[in-house]
Structure 1
């Protein structure tokens, strides 16, 4: 008797012999795969994140106050190009070490040096202007003027790219501008503290910083690299580009006549500059942009407070109003900007 012909099972799932391995779930689109719950953040990770935030805050404060001490010396103030070169060298060395074993915090890439020349020139220029602003202004005014970077970015984006913001964001920006304007008017009035030249340099500094932020964001997309990868290429090239300007713009100091504390400040400012860049990368990598934004506002308040204390400065009612308007407007704008970004 012929055996009964069984229907073909080709293409059918046969579970008679028990469960079999299947790759069906792996082949589904990402939005169809079962969502995995994120692993809970351990105490160790929280401690490391707090240390990164503390390092960024400490190094930012240290960089400003060390650099101010360096530039308060007449001889060192006359060799600002070399001071900037020293900051770039330490930054390059620290980032190089961070990209190698055993750290491997990011993967280094090599970019075409000729493509980097315009970026490096702008990079060096805005840093030098920032140091000049710190030279001719007190610390508190220098830091408050930097708050104007964000409104300037918004203005440039509108003029060049017709990018607009909401009414509430515009109101926050105008409030920030009004607050900083009050402090600038007061600064110009005080001839013994901040002269008109200092205010002009401060304006040029935050305008160049705003332009650099917009341009560097575009370059990061064009090159397809991260911030640390680009900076590791930028810093050494910027040093080489600045060397020819040293004989014409700098005066070689007599180190033997410079106070020891100022020489230690030169060393410290370079270390702090490298730590600022490294810790900023670590914070963004381990936390959200909102956390980094909050840390930035806390640093601004700390710098202003310590600056006023070190200068034994007593604010007038007009100055308090300007500071509150500037910081309040900046905080509201950043909060609204983050909220709008999350909704996209």
Structure 2
């Protein structure tokens, strides 16, 4: 991988992390102060993403490529499934239990890619999962409350989330499309499927329904998160397509640690010594993973560069 590509990837990673943290904080504000429904918010984000992609295609940012709906439907269905089960898991579990079970997405991705797509992972890459899982456990230890229904929701959420992230990467390579070309079809299809699901999970009319009389502040904030979501979705698809679902998942653990640190410095949330140790462990795992993956990429790329130079 060329140095310029490394820099571009680093920029995309940092940009995605900053936007992801921003949208979490803004969404939290909207949920807390305005009570805007969760699934409706997600659907709105995909509507904004669809509009943004249409505008980009009109200005020649990318070329629309015809893709069969049969290939897009599994992607959109797994997306809707992971949104629904993730929300149900969060509603039925404490934040600690939710976050701890969510960590299992990383080993689940390895299992899916190893068994169904014949991907190979070195032992040292697999070992980087250990400090990350222990680190997240230490951060959520005091907030773990197990219940059967919550665990069922969480287990389905992990399985479907892992499948979705793997499909995003595999479909880009299988169909030979870039992130925008794939998202151009997935975004409107996912928005449509969520519109069908919303009446079963959230109010539509009446208090806190989508057609309620929302304040101007709420509308503007939702529109702001829609624009941010458009940029996040593009970077997510690009990162998964150009790195791997596992690498993107590692970024998720990094975001979790940064959010904890952000809450500590901005909102003076209390962090005990175990949580601090957990953050250090998780960070060390992410850094080790990044180091090993770059080494493995260089081992593949350097012989190719050498052969080209010799020719």
**TM-score under structure 1 normalisation?**
0.67
Note the residue ranges of structure 2 that are not aligned, 5 or more in a row. Answer: 301-311
Structure of greater Rg: 1
Whose helix proportion is higher, 1 or 2? 2
Three-state SS of the structure 2 residue aligned to 1:76 is coil
Deviations 1:32-52 (A, max 9, x none): xxxxxx9x98xxxx9x99986
Residues 78 and 161, structure 2, Cα contact 8 Å, conserved in 1: no
TM-superposed deviation, 1:76: 2.2
Deviations 1:141-180 (A, max 9, x none): 9778766543331233345456553332232112222222
Residues 105 and 161, structure 2, Cα contact 8 Å, conserved in 1: yes
**Aligned partners of 1:264 and 1:134: how far apart in 2?**
26
Residues 16 and 235, structure 2, Cα contact 8 Å, conserved in 1: yes
Are residue 268 (structure 1) and residue 224 (structure 2) matched? Answer: yes
Deviations 1:91-136 (A, max 9, x none): 11112212222xx222111222243222211122224445566777
- Corresponding residue pairs, total: 290
TM-superposed deviation, 1:297: 7.6
2:125 matched residue in structure 1: 169
2:40 matched residue in structure 1: 82
**Aligned partners of 1:321 and 1:277: how far apart in 2?**
32
TM-superposed deviation, 1:280: 5.4
2:309 matched residue in structure 1: none
Deviations 1:164-206 (A, max 9, x none): 53332232112222222233332216xxxx9998787666544
2:61 matched residue in structure 1: 105
**Aligned partners of 1:289 and 1:339: how far apart in 2?**
14
**Aligned partners of 1:209 and 1:177: how far apart in 2?**
17
Three-state SS of the structure 2 residue aligned to 1:72 is helix
Are residue 59 (structure 1) and residue 19 (structure 2) matched? Answer: yes
**Aligned partners of 2:61 and 2:237: how far apart in 1?**
9
Correspondence list, 1:1-344, <5 A: 55-72=15-32, 75-77=35-37, 80-101=38-59, 104-130=60-86, 148-160=104-116, 163-188=119-144, 204-252=156-204, 253=208, 261-279=217-235, 299=255, 301-344=257-300
Residues 56 and 280, structure 1, Cα contact 8 Å, conserved in 2: yes
TM-superposed deviation, 1:315: 1.4
